[in-house]
Structure 1
């Protein structure tokens, strides 16, 4: 029958500095784990404070309040009877550490600091913490007086140690350590650790989950063992969505997996595991030889068993079977992650709903569709989630006691407000019609508000002051005049959006104000194809981290999944800003204006960020990728245009609306893509000269070959 034990891990929707709320969710997860018979419970990284505190980790208050919350857990007898693995920051010898505090029955067993910190992309842990950096090193930590009184002594071990119970050995690694080449779990496993816990604050990226899970599976497939992965879930107050998906893996097989996206504030995943299965798996003599030479960990001995006594078998307890990995397609990931992120932001910001400047184009269409997706998820969660019911009544109930939506459209009608802000001479019937019919299909409140009068009023400031009357290009004006007049419209829409967001609740007879949603995608931000402080300036932007190509795939997917046939018209429509007058032979086109297709922008964006390629490296790579369809000079022109416009428009990124991070080539300036915003002229740069030299060399080689074939074909 083996030696069976029930272990628990969890995903918690923590919120930065929500001390009592975070504590309540931690305690609830412990209660559920204990109720299910678990003797080990693992929680997310920095769960007491919330992971995304950023510079609050530099404040003494954060450490004081974290200890105060831990004290309440240690005092709570309902939290006895199982080993608790809790994440919080700890100050030791005047230095800040990202730690795990392992406890049992009101006592701290071990404080385990994170060895290797995440310090790239969205993460700046080295700004707040110091990595322990000394594998297997342990020393003594002097407890705060309030904890020492409970502990009965002043010191506890701090360092890279493992926990030895009567029946097994438990070790801990934290988030980033799983992704490092020399992960702690390898030496721990060789040293006899049978259960490895991982407390994480891992954000969602499109197509990322399978990478994370494959690392966990490989860790236990190669080493044998039980791996408990815990993660934060939801928006904890910033641009990231933490995507949960708590896991329990045994010898490479998934035995339990939590949801990746949900409205649940607390989700506990448990499994019955057989420790003897680990011992049987580790049979190979070659492994034993390596184990003899592995570093030795200090073992903190605990008088406790994770399993029942050998003579006290429970016939009803059996090991949890393996299951297939549950993974979402990217289109569904967009739908779920953005929806859950928006719901967290809406309920925590205490606002009454959303407002979208709905243009009839695919970007604002995608934003509205994501709100509809959010309503679908929320309505589905009403059945068995008391917190969601309370939030819905508070946000959308409008004083009607017990009101709950019966359909997603019911909820959409109360929280989603769409305003088409057109110009009589420039907005087509098609975009007006699409916007209105999309709002009707989702149940959203819809208005048309033409901005002609506002545009004319602002435009006339210049003629009144200077006597110069600017004209559109279609009417004989210069490019400078044409751009200035387009920008007036774009910025007028931003002002109008906020005016309506503040007043529409009053017009409709309820209290509060609305969050304005932006609709600028990754590729437009890369190219700088937007007006600074136009309606891309908003409160939050759910598609700010999504590429145009992925947005189109999402809309195609949502057409069927959400039964919204109107979405097909947005996919087939030519993307246009409609900021210039429509004439018999001219309709403004986004791709024509930019000089790039969205597919080309996506490729160039990935080269710049993911492959860390500058202009010259991008050109040398694309000569091979695009060589069959473009000449070297055409490729060079694309590359130089891209980097030129990216550089001259970098200043726009410093003011962009906070957007949900989803793409790995996002140009978000807040912390993911840190670059200067004032550059020397790229067209005069050394890298561009090097590209020109190589183009001439390639063209000369092509002429000399005499076959006319494109280089790279």
Structure 2
């Protein structure tokens, strides 16, 4: 439960129809089992205590009396358990019968939520027995021990210890209507929706049900716990499969194998959901005027997290999906550049080519944009500018790349110009400090800008989002361009974009060059090589990009605090980096991110391609002088 992670469960026992005593014994076993497994919220299926398929037996007093008696057994059994339990039960109120979800915590009934929408078509005939709970507001007496209990659809159950944990309920058919009660619950502040359900199984219904639950969780920016009736229900006319689902903002976190009555668990993240709602200002909130609010307590403990986090959150794990994403991003980049070239009536582009990943991607994107505009590729002017740190490998890769693309290669050696600059400002060439490095980067940018003037073209920027996040760019050097095609592409994704191009191009020689570029260490090549090999490796200086991209995604996307990022990174990179290494680079990430905002505050234009970006005109309007104290 620490850091907003809440372990939840969905279950249904193997019941006996119309045997509340037997069903309750099975319910209690599941409560004990899920408590031992750390669940803080447990949702049972619809009418669990009686069974959903009792038919006209729901009109019999012995069944209803026994259901109430067994419900109170369940309530007592939750004493001293740090759990919120939702169980289905038929409830009589003023001579009317309601299909209800009973919300229980620590020996008390917090509230009873009646079903609003009663199906009365095909195999369903609930109106024969039940009354809709729409508009019902009643205080129901449960004796001296339990007192009055509120019965209403519009109820919120709030956790005292975790403000982001707000629970609400709807029942089965309520989800299948055009405007489910859960919509209003979420608008009132519910972050977790519980649905005790009894959905009959037919062919193709499984995928529809999954889509319905996951899509509703996405629309509501909520977690959705769907517990389905299963084995034990009457099969007189239909079959139930126990198809439980736990979803979070459109993602399926856990799903039961049908026809097994499997208990499923998932760790939902209510801090993440709350962050999404804060960010999405179009999401209505605070509409609680007509809602009843009940509080409950949970012991805040650091459960073992079973959910996993992708090491590369910007990159899909599935190759088919990844290839589709790469093609889409290349299209976004090239279409953005296409529009800028069209608008400026520009027929030439100038790109500084180093033989590294970023400049390679920029050249590929520019060539694609030229193809879209029917501009000859020889109008793509690729400039290699060797200096003190250039190695033969990167130089040859740059030359081969341009040849295979059919672009124009220009070589401008900058050693003399940089040495003259050192002499002009009185800098010792043997002092390999930041002046030594940045003088080369700025000289290259000056050449690119002036050559763009010569060709009446524009300079295409090559720097990626990870470098911008860390400030790993020379101010007014590689930091500057006329259109930055890679500005919202993180380093971990750049690699896959180039790989995708290499795997899909029909040019075998081009593919071989791209594969060697991918195999080359990331480096600005501003320091002299040692024995002809790159001596300056970026990740040795700023840290592993896979860690920084992980930090960047979860900090900017969800606003997670440092302690949570550290915990998630330890779980995700266990066996890859030790705890001290992760902490070291997390500290470095925060320091660089805040201190280098001034570089991001004056970025050139470039296309946004994903949900995280650092443009000062769009996703990250951050002051350059912000203090990092609260974060670190």
TM range (shorter): 0.3 to 0.5
TM superposition score normalised by structure 1: 0.41
